[in-house]
Chain A
Amino acid sequence: MTAAFLSPKLAVLLAGGLVYLAVRRTYPERSQHVIAALLLSAVLRDLAYAVLGLYPLLVIGDIGLLLGLAYWLRAAGGRGGLWFRPGIGYLLLVLGVVLLEVTTPGVPRMVYLVPLVGAVAGLIGWFYDAVSDSVENARIIGEARAPVCLGVFYGQAALAVLGHHSAIAQLVIYPLFYLIPVVVLLRYFELGRQRSIEQMRATRLENESLFAFMRRVAGSFGDRVELESTLNVILASAMEDTAADGGSVWLLDGSSQTLSVRAVEGVFPPPHEVPEAVKKKAQTFESYLRSLSIRVGETAIGQAVQDRVAIYVADTTADPRFRANSDRDDLLFISSFVALPLVIGERVRGVLALVKRRPGIRFSERDFEHLRTFADYAALTIELVATYLELLEKREVERELAVAASIQRQMVPERLPGSARAEFSAYALAARGVGGDYYDVFELDERRVAAIVCDVAGKGVPAALVMVMVRTAIRLIASAERDSGETLGLMNEALAQQMEVGHYATIGFFIYDSDKQVLQYSNAAHHPVLVYHRDRDELLEYDTEGLPVGIERGVQYPTREISVMSDDLVVMYTDGLTEARNNRGEQFEARRVFDTVARSARAGSFGGAADRGVAGNEAPGPACAQDIRDALRDELTRFVGGARQHDDQTVLVMRVR
């Protein structure tokens, strides 16, 4: 009775239209209209079948539907490009339908199974091909298999049994087919929604864990900022966030291109063989690990630094780089591995490496993504702390230098003793902060005068204290009764006892006896003394053996006697002169000191030869101590230009009258 009112064909169309409308209402977004479009195409297919009555139209429509689904799958990240297996399925489907159409109604119903098998085989093949390459959408593709394959199978089986012209087929089975794409797509959107919620949650967690990390770094500083504690916090945070079993931070030594371990947590097996003996005791293993270094490019750790690329090995079993870590019962076992280079701009500071050590337990992709972001923050933090520590170190040293500078200033003699027998001139240029230069001239008796130039090792307060010691000791020890070598020997005895190990001073020391016109000279590893013999017009260098004072007791210092005459010049200087640098990085060198002294000694009191040529008639007098000093200072100033000097420069000149 209902046949006229509710013809099967009309029912199909009605059901399709209702579902279409329902879907459009439920998913108003444009991107979701694909569901409606698929449904609409199914409805149009059935409409065409209803009007034209050709069964192949249904099949062609189904193929179109499947192609639509395939396109969608491809868009969803599946491969969808392989048509071999699905192609065979489609062929079987078409073949089955053609057979049905050309054969008589007497053919057994089971022939329907041909298109059925074809359709299912095609679908399964196509789904497997599509899922194999994509991890991202594996879940939706996997979940879609059941409704698509089972739906088509049971639907077609029912059609085979009931006949596709029967009322039940038209009223129930065909509309059920519509539900297949609907179910798949609804599920797809649901998964997408879940994924975006998870992503939001992950981002929030990520942010929270990064903030927590920053708080921990800040909290770890306490009274002192230390790189080690920062590295430990970085490592602990990274391990906590990813539930790693072991981790290590390696820092790069740029000059030797090696990485060495600076922090270790948990059990961290290196990705290479280790000696058997090391594995026996946990303590031995840890100390082995701490002294380990890896060249850039070697192992997965060195590779991460060389390529500046994070390395993620979810499962180490198939990776040849972890051959040494494959035995599950071994201490070296690693199940999953991550190495992240710590990069600041163009520079790699080191690498953060984490491991999991339980069979089957792996770092997830999300762990890896989190660690990549984390490594950026970690690298910045390390850079910041390292820079801060360097600055702090400099500031501490510089504060100390300021204290020492004032000590040094008070020690430089205000006025050099001049006498009828010898004339002195000196200049001392203190570098920023303070070097350790000290000079002094003092009379031993009415005919002897002593002069010392000293360079104390190091800078700052300790050096200044040594300077004070030297000044006190030399004034106490030097006397008319001792020659210069004995004086230095006694100085050394006194200082070696009092000075800290590693502190020392180089000293050039002479005593000038104006009656004998003899210079006694002894050198404790200072620059040799320069003497200009005016009568011979010769500048000579004199030196004696001997260690710097303050290093070792019992050092003998020989005394060298040098005969001098009126207007001879004696020059002592510190290495601030020879090591003075210009902006090109060149050093002034001892030879320039020598040349300058020689030139100005020869030029005499009126300056250079050119001046003499101009002046013409007036011959220059012998150069005085100040001439030499000024010449050295001017030459040095010209040489260094504006370059900043790092060491004191001291020159002491004596002219024999």
Chain B
Amino acid sequence: MEIRVERGEQAGVIRVSGDVDLYHSHRLKDALTELAGEASSGIVLDLGGATYIDSSGVGVLIYAKSLCGKNGIPLRIVNLSDPVRKVLELTKLMSYLPLSDSEAGEIRELDDQNGA
């Protein structure tokens, strides 16, 4: 799994590619924690490159929602790849997690929220 963090002027973007599984998902968790700790004005989690997600990975998504909720940071999970979507549908988390299809729109929206 590879994680790339882009700290924009407004929202921070975390792009994940590869397998978000037991062996790697803790790194995503660390990256999220770090970014949320920097009082970022919003986090966009891009799962477009994720080829596989297991329950540990889903756990990190739940953690992300909880963490951002606690810190009052808007979170958007974008670009669900098919394998990820399938797992989230199965675990009935599609409506629980803040998912969205368009990334650009989300960042703009986060920025607008902050600007307002």
Interface residue ranges, A against B (CB under 8 Å): 253-256, 258, 260, 287, 291, 293, 393-394, 397, 436, 455-460, 501-504, 506, 525, 527, 545-548, 551-552, 575, 646-647
B contact residues around A456 at 8 Å (CB): 55
- 29 example contacts (A-B, Cβ-Cβ < 8 A) are as follows A253-B2, A254-B2, A260-B5, A287-B7, A291-B5, A291-B7, A293-B4, A293-B6, A397-B23, A457-B56, A458-B22, A459-B22, A460-B22, A501-B62, A501-B63, A502-B29, A502-B60, A502-B62, A503-B59, A504-B55, A506-B91, A525-B91, A525-B92, A525-B93, A527-B90, A547-B92, A547-B96, A551-B96, A647-B54
A contact residues around B99 at 8 Å (CB): none
A contact residues around B67 at 8 Å (CB): 501
Distance in angstroms from B12 CB to nearest chain A CB is 9
Distance in angstroms from B47 CB to nearest chain A CB is 12
B55 touches A258 (CB 8 A): no
Q: Determine whether B58 belongs to the interface, using a CB cutoff of 8 Å to chain A.
A: yes
A458 touches B56 (CB 8 A): yes
B contact residues around A545 at 8 Å (CB): 92
Q: Determine whether B66 belongs to the interface, using a CB cutoff of 8 Å to chain A.
A: yes
The CA-CA distance from A647 to B87 in the complex, in Å, is: 14
A256 touches B59 (CB 8 A): no
Near A by CB (< 8 A), chain B positions 19-39 give 22-23, 29
The CA-CA distance from A291 to B6 in the complex, in Å, is: 6
B contact residues around A525 at 8 Å (CB): 90-93
A contact residues around B58 at 8 Å (CB): 457, 504
Near A by CB (< 8 A), chain B positions 50-74 give 54-56, 58-60, 62-63, 66-67
A436 touches B55 (CB 8 A): yes
A contact residues around B22 at 8 Å (CB): 397, 458-460
**Chain B interface SS verdict (over half):** mixed
B66 touches A502 (CB 8 A): yes
Distance in angstroms from A254 CB to nearest chain B CB is 7
Known A-B contacts A254-B2, A291-B6; the reply to A502 vs B92 at CB < 8 A is no
Partner of A255, one of B2, B6, B7, B92: B2
The CA-CA distance from A448 to B28 in the complex, in Å, is: 45
The CA-CA distance from A314 to B115 in the complex, in Å, is: 45
B4 touches A260 (CB 8 A): yes
A contact residues around B96 at 8 Å (CB): 547, 551-552
**Given A457-B56, A457-B59, 6 more contacts at CB 8 Å?**
A253-B17, A260-B5, A291-B7, A504-B55, A547-B92, A547-B93
The CA-CA distance from A561 to B97 in the complex, in Å, is: 29
Please count the residue pairs between chain A and chain B whose beta carbons lie under 8 angstroms apart in the complex: 74
Distance in angstroms from B99 CB to nearest chain A CB is 14
Q: Determine whether B76 belongs to the interface, using a CB cutoff of 8 Å to chain A.
A: no
Known A-B contacts A458-B55, A547-B96; the reply to A256 vs B7 at CB < 8 A is no
Distance in angstroms from B100 CB to nearest chain A CB is 19
The CA-CA distance from A436 to B67 in the complex, in Å, is: 24
Closest to A590 in B: B90
The CA-CA distance from A394 to B21 in the complex, in Å, is: 12
The residue in A260, A458, A647 that gathers the most chain B C-beta atoms within 10 A of its C-beta is: A458
The CA-CA distance from A527 to B90 in the complex, in Å, is: 7
The CA-CA distance from A466 to B91 in the complex, in Å, is: 17
A contact residues around B60 at 8 Å (CB): 502
Closest to B92 in A: A525
B contact residues around A287 at 8 Å (CB): 7
A contact residues around B56 at 8 Å (CB): 457-459
The CA-CA distance from A506 to B59 in the complex, in Å, is: 12
B17 touches A256 (CB 8 A): yes
The CA-CA distance from A502 to B96 in the complex, in Å, is: 13
The CA-CA distance from A31 to B93 in the complex, in Å, is: 82
A504 touches B6 (CB 8 A): no
The CA-CA distance from A646 to B5 in the complex, in Å, is: 29
A contact residues around B18 at 8 Å (CB): 255
Closest 9 CB pairs of A and B: A502-B63, A457-B55, A291-B7, A502-B59, A255-B17, A525-B92, A458-B56, A501-B66, A457-B59
The CA-CA distance from A471 to B65 in the complex, in Å, is: 27
B59 touches A458 (CB 8 A): yes
The CA-CA distance from A551 to B55 in the complex, in Å, is: 13
The CA-CA distance from A394 to B29 in the complex, in Å, is: 17
Distance in angstroms from A228 CB to nearest chain B CB is 12
Distance in angstroms from B1 CB to nearest chain A CB is 10
Partner of B23, one of A258, A394, A503: A394
B contact residues around A258 at 8 Å (CB): 4
The CA-CA distance from A646 to B54 in the complex, in Å, is: 10
The CA-CA distance from A293 to B6 in the complex, in Å, is: 8
The CA-CA distance from A506 to B91 in the complex, in Å, is: 7
B contact residues around A551 at 8 Å (CB): 62, 96
Distance in angstroms from B114 CB to nearest chain A CB is 17
The CA-CA distance from A551 to B6 in the complex, in Å, is: 28
Closest to B70 in A: A501
A contact residues around B63 at 8 Å (CB): 501-502
B92 touches A548 (CB 8 A): yes
Distance in angstroms from B45 CB to nearest chain A CB is 14
The CA-CA distance from A256 to B3 in the complex, in Å, is: 10
Distance in angstroms from A602 CB to nearest chain B CB is 27
A contact residues around B5 at 8 Å (CB): 260, 291
The CA-CA distance from A436 to B7 in the complex, in Å, is: 36
B contact residues around A256 at 8 Å (CB): 4, 15, 17, 49
A contact residues around B62 at 8 Å (CB): 501-502, 504, 551
The CA-CA distance from A254 to B15 in the complex, in Å, is: 12
B contact residues around A458 at 8 Å (CB): 22, 55-56, 59
A253 touches B59 (CB 8 A): no
Distance in angstroms from B19 CB to nearest chain A CB is 10
Distance in angstroms from B73 CB to nearest chain A CB is 15
The CA-CA distance from A501 to B93 in the complex, in Å, is: 15
Closest to A550 in B: B62
Distance in angstroms from B81 CB to nearest chain A CB is 11
Distance in angstroms from B79 CB to nearest chain A CB is 12
Closest to B58 in A: A457
The CA-CA distance from A287 to B12 in the complex, in Å, is: 13
Distance in angstroms from B55 CB to nearest chain A CB is 3
